[in-house]
Amino acid sequence: GAVVSQHPSWVICKSGTSVKIECRSLDFQATTMFWYRQFPKQSLMLMATSNEGSKATYEQGVEKDKFLINHASLTLSTLTVTSAHPEDSSFYICSARIAGSRHEQYFGPGTRLTVT
């Protein structure tokens, strides 16, 4: 149980284009989903907390107009990287919390984004 999927698993895009990443909880309802970014050999960095049906809460320093998050249902959250630049190249990982659980998060497999 507690399986989270992400799509795509990797993507290459040109500078200035937008990329959408999907995060789905496959066998549970997730009232809260989280988006992280991880650069090589560095720790996880929380970008935003996404609650179903409401606006995402962004961490300090994360541009909400650049990283658009939508959590339209209890099983789906999306992250859109708008006007991507090479410095946005990173490993983007989503996680989901089971409704009513004690804060444990289950992670998707991640999306590796390369902006050329």
Partner 1 sequence: QKEVEQNSGPLSVPEGAIASLNCTYSDRGSQSFFWYRQYSGKSPELIMSIYSNGDKEDGRFTAQLNKASQYVSLLIRDSQPSDSATYLCAVSSAGNNRKLIWGLGTSLAVNP
- Cα 74 from Cα 97, distance rounded (Å): 10
Q: Is 98 in the site for partner 1 (CB under 8 A)?
A: no
- Cα 21 from Cα 34, distance rounded (Å): 13
The nearest distance, CB 74 to partner 1, in angstroms, is: 15
The nearest distance, CB 36 to partner 1, in angstroms, is: 9
The 10 Å Cβ neighbour count of residue 112 is 16
Rg over CA atoms, the chain: 13
Residue ranges in 51-70 that form contacts with partner 1 under rule CB under 8 A: 57
Applying CB under 8 A, the span of 12-20, 70-78, 81-89, 104-112 interacting with partner 1 comes to 104-112
- Burial, 116: exposed, middle or buried (Cβ in 10 Å; 0-12, 13-18, 19+)? exposed
Q: Is 34 in the site for partner 1 (CB under 8 A)?
A: yes
Q: Which residue ranges make up the site for partner 1 (CB under 8 A)?
A: 32, 34, 43-44, 46, 49, 57, 91, 93, 95, 97, 102-110
